[in-house]
Structure 1
Amino acid sequence: MHVHVESDGHGHLSLDQELMDASAAYFKGSDSRTPSVEDLAERYRGAGLAAVVFTVDATTATGHPAIPSEQIAEAAARHNDVLIPFGSVDPHQGRAAVDRARRLVEEHGVRGFKFHPSLQAFAPDDPAWAELWGTIEQLGVPALFHTGQNGIGAGLPGGRGIKLRYSNPLLLDDVAADFPNLTVILAHPSVPWQAEAISMATHKANVYIDLSGWRPKYFPPELVRAAGGLLRKKVMFGSDYPLITPERWLADFAELGIDEAHRPGIVKDTAAKVLGLAR
């Protein structure tokens, strides 16, 4: 449910080099840090996996032009056996973001949207974004939001100005409540706000959690208990590749002690339902 396109294949990266390097140092991974859509298709096809792919449009907050979601969607369409494209729009672009979101679904076939409130520098519960959330709700696709700790900017002075509070999952409770037909996905274990995320996913039928961005062996105990019990139909496999490989994530996940009968739902079935792919 969570794979990043970090390069357009022609040298343009999703983030500036300082942020890319800081993220790489934080996660200490071994795979290429700058996969293109084509790279991802080859890798995931070889692994026998499928992936939701996207970038983040944080143009206003960072001054760094994003990889166009239209380009990602077009490339993913050539590999639709293994890749499912999500779009990203910059909320600060106002009406242009709303109109672009509609075009991305209706003309380019994206199956959802990715937002990163801290990197994009916005509070999701601000009424200024209500039209955007309402449009995505009308389009019938999910919105996936980064929550919790940030690897981007980690270790840099002031975290490069990236504010963690925007990624408190509780800021999305208003969004989920005010737009009950919008599927809201909380990306990552929401450390240090794990209890809030679990509470939201328990309370609201339209809130889900993807389990990307942390190796499962480091999951907070309350998340492991919830994933194997009360929330077993509300959590979904995500790696955050290229920051964590799917193989490493799956190997860790197998050691969590979650009932084998519940694992297929977490690894595939719930995501297929959320994405409208279930048969």
Structure 2
Amino acid sequence: MIIDAWGQHPTLRHAQDPMFDSLRSWTKTPAPTEELPVSTTVALMDQAGVDKMLISAWEAPCNSMISNEEVEGFVAEAPDRFVGVGSVDISKPMDAVREVRRCVQERGFKAIRVLPWLWEVPPTDRRFYPVFTACVEEGVPFCTQIGHTGPLMPSEVGRPLYLDQVALDFPELVIVGGHIGYPWTEEAVAVATKHENVYIDTSAYTAGRYPPELVRFMQGHGAAKVLFGTNYPMMPPAQALKGLDKLGLAEDKQALFLGGNSQRVFGL
């Protein structure tokens, strides 16, 4: 089984947002002009042999780029293929806590994701802590971005070392840091090694471009700590899997990476 730990089925307002212009310059693709059908995303998953994709809401300051309600609707269109991941407005702590509970209890979502660079504060900011508490209480992972940002926003808030303090304060919290933490991948590996409940996902990178320190971690003591991800639609699943055979992973460790770890971490 292959599970994509980080995807989005985008709304048009998300896909057209000017903050992604820098990413479009990399991929040499224009901003879309029409809503993307769910069937298109599922077809691209089929092409790459991806069984399930965790699709995320996007809450930014004063801007719901992909709402939790929209994610719920996308999941309803492909319930055997999509798994919902909610997001919350951290500027309203009590509303955020209530929304975490609603996402899990009423919508059946399996995780919550908040991106520090969207808020321009690290995950140690006090506004994140009620969200962490709610995730622990509801028994779902907190997903976030680590590493530099493709959009032209400050990268420093994505230093993986910030998660060290979060994990110390919330040892029960399951944390998944997406985008491998580059250029601080060694920090990400160190934090995931130190803390039982900290994981790394490989979204936004093709398998052939994983840093050597991450590959060594996957080959050795970190086999149960790294999850496959794409960051779709920025990267189609087939592209994200390119170079997989060159990682030198034993069969059992490759199975964990592609799906087993996500099954366990997200309770799928």
TM-score with structure 2 length normalisation?
0.90
For 2:38 and 2:145, locate their aligned partners in 1 and report how far apart those are by CA, in whole Å.
21
Equivalence for 1:156: none
RMSD (Å) for aligned C-alpha atoms: 2.2
Equivalent residues of 2:21, 2:151 under 8 A apart: no
Cα deviation for residue 216 of structure 1 reads 2.1
Equivalence for 2:250: 259
Q: For residues 114 and 202 of structure 1, do their structure 2 counterparts lie closer, same or farther at Cα, with a shift above 3 Å needed? A: same
For 1:181 and 1:40, locate their aligned partners in 2 and report how far apart those are by CA, in whole Å.
34
5 Å-filtered alignment, 1:159-238, equals 162-238=153-229
Q: For residues 243 and 40 of structure 1, do their structure 2 counterparts lie closer, same or farther at Cα, with a shift above 3 Å needed? A: same
The partner residue of 1:5 within 6, 9, 17 is: 9
The partner residue of 2:57 within 51, 55, 58 is: 55
Q: For residues 173 and 27 of structure 1, do their structure 2 counterparts lie closer, same or farther at Cα, with a shift above 3 Å needed? A: farther
Secondary structure of the corresponding residue to residue 39 of structure 1: helix
For 1:178 and 1:186, locate their aligned partners in 2 and report how far apart those are by CA, in whole Å.
17
For 2:207 and 2:46, locate their aligned partners in 1 and report how far apart those are by CA, in whole Å.
23
Sequence identity, in percent? 28
Equivalence for 2:97: 98
Secondary structure of the corresponding residue to residue 58 of structure 2: coil
Secondary structure of the corresponding residue to residue 13 of structure 2: coil
TM-score with structure 1 length normalisation?
0.86
Equivalence for 1:144: 143
Which is further off, 212-221 or 31-40?
Answer: 31-40
For 2:212 and 2:9, locate their aligned partners in 1 and report how far apart those are by CA, in whole Å.
31
Higher strand share: 2
Cα deviation for residue 24 of structure 1 reads 1.4
- What is the letter of the counterpart of residue 68 of structure 2? S
Equivalent residues of 2:208, 2:242 under 8 A apart: no
Cα deviation for residue 16 of structure 1 reads 5.1
Secondary structure of the corresponding residue to residue 251 of structure 1: coil
Equivalence for 2:45: 44
Residues 169-199 of structure 1 show CA distances to partners (whole Å, capped at 9, x for unaligned) of 1111121221122110010121121111101
For 1:125 and 1:238, locate their aligned partners in 2 and report how far apart those are by CA, in whole Å.
24
Secondary structure of the corresponding residue to residue 129 of structure 2: helix
For 2:87 and 2:39, locate their aligned partners in 1 and report how far apart those are by CA, in whole Å.
19
For 1:78 and 1:114, locate their aligned partners in 2 and report how far apart those are by CA, in whole Å.
21
Cα deviation for residue 131 of structure 1 reads 1.6
Cα deviation for residue 48 of structure 1 reads 3.6
Q: For residues 185 and 265 of structure 1, do their structure 2 counterparts lie closer, same or farther at Cα, with a shift above 3 Å needed? A: same
Q: Give 4+ residue runs of structure 1 displaced > 6 Å after superposition.
A: 29-34
Equivalence for 1:18: 18
Equivalent residues of 1:73, 1:85 under 8 A apart: yes
Equivalence for 2:83: 84
Task: Say how many residue pairs are matched.
Answer: 262
Equivalent residues of 1:14, 1:55 under 8 A apart: no
For 2:8 and 2:111, locate their aligned partners in 1 and report how far apart those are by CA, in whole Å.
14
Equivalent residues of 1:142, 1:274 under 8 A apart: yes
Runs of at least 5 residues in structure 1 that lack an aligned partner in the other structure: 154-161
Residues 70-123 of structure 1 show CA distances to partners (whole Å, capped at 9, x for unaligned) of 221232033121111100112122221111111111111111011210122222
Equivalence for 1:129: 128
Cα deviation for residue 237 of structure 1 reads 0.6
Q: For residues 263 and 57 of structure 1, do their structure 2 counterparts lie closer, same or farther at Cα, with a shift above 3 Å needed? A: same
Residues 37-90 of structure 1 show CA distances to partners (whole Å, capped at 9, x for unaligned) of 4532343245442111013211x1xx4432211221232033121111100112
Equivalent residues of 1:202, 1:231 under 8 A apart: yes
Q: For residues 117 and 37 of structure 1, do their structure 2 counterparts lie closer, same or farther at Cα, with a shift above 3 Å needed? A: farther
For 2:241 and 2:247, locate their aligned partners in 1 and report how far apart those are by CA, in whole Å.
10
